[in-house]
Structure 1
């Protein structure tokens, strides 16, 4: 994966994003703050839905909760993609060779695949769910929560690698 990440870093430099992100005293801290805000929105939104599907707060209707919080989670993901691109552009060469950055991207890909599979398998049936919720859906919700928390943890660990 390192050659692909190095190529991405080189391209971001060539189009001016890297120099812009590195050349300003304010761009990196703002991008970092937005990245954290995006993480809070993502994990806060999807995490509550995942916990409900896993079995907590049984009095709350899952479909309504998902309709309300999934857009927040998607918004957080979009904020993270945009701010993460800026953060990567600012230090792409070092991140490309990081022992933690590539695994973080793999965990994110797995989390997105799990979310897509959950939507395809269960979303249309959520309105009809009464407890007990199907074991497969509960398992996918637990995996979702674990993957997103792992991605966030790996992101924080990059600073210490």
Structure 2
């Protein structure tokens, strides 16, 4: 993975994103703030849906809650991808060698795979869940919450690893 990340870092430097993110007093802190906002939107949106699927707030309809909050989570994910690219570009060479950063990317991939599998397996059925979701759906929701929180925590830990 290190060689792929090193190549991406080199490309980001070649197209000017790396120098831009390193050369401005505002770009990195603004990107970092937007990255945090994206995390709040992602975990705040999908986390509430996950908790509902796991059994909290049973008076709230799961399908409607998902319809309202999933777009917020997706927007947060897009914001994180864009701002994360800028953050990576600022220090791509070091991040390409970071074990914590590599683990963060693996956790994100697992979280995205879990989300896709959940939507494929359970998305069409959520409207029928009036009180309790099936056990497998609850387990996937719990995994979603843990994976996204682990991805966020990994991002915070990069500075210390």
Range into which the TM-score falls when normalised by the shorter chain: over 0.9
**Structure 1 stretch 49-58 or stretch 129-138: which is displaced more?**
129-138
Q: Please, what TM-score do these two structures have when normalized by structure 1?
A: 0.99
Structure 1: segments with no counterpart, 5+ residues: none
Partner of 1:145: 145
Partner of 1:67: 67
Separation in structure 2 between the aligned mates of residue 38 and residue 4 of structure 1, nearest angstrom = 25
Partner of 2:134: 134
RMSD after superposition: 0.5
**Which consecutive aligned stretches of 4+ in structure 1 deviate over 2 angstroms post-superposition?**
none
Give the total of aligned pairs.
Answer: 161
Structure 2: segments with no counterpart, 5+ residues: none
Partner of 2:36: 36
Separation in structure 2 between the aligned mates of residue 17 and residue 156 of structure 1, nearest angstrom = 22
Partner of 1:95: 95
Secondary structure of the structure 2 residue equivalent to 1:133: coil
- 1:57-103 per-residue CA deviation (whole Å, 9 max, x = no partner) reads 00000000000000000000000000000000000001000110000
CA contact (8 A) 2:62 2:130 kept: no
| Structure 1 residue 133 displacement after superposition | 1.4
Q: Please, what TM-score do these two structures have when normalized by structure 2?
A: 0.99
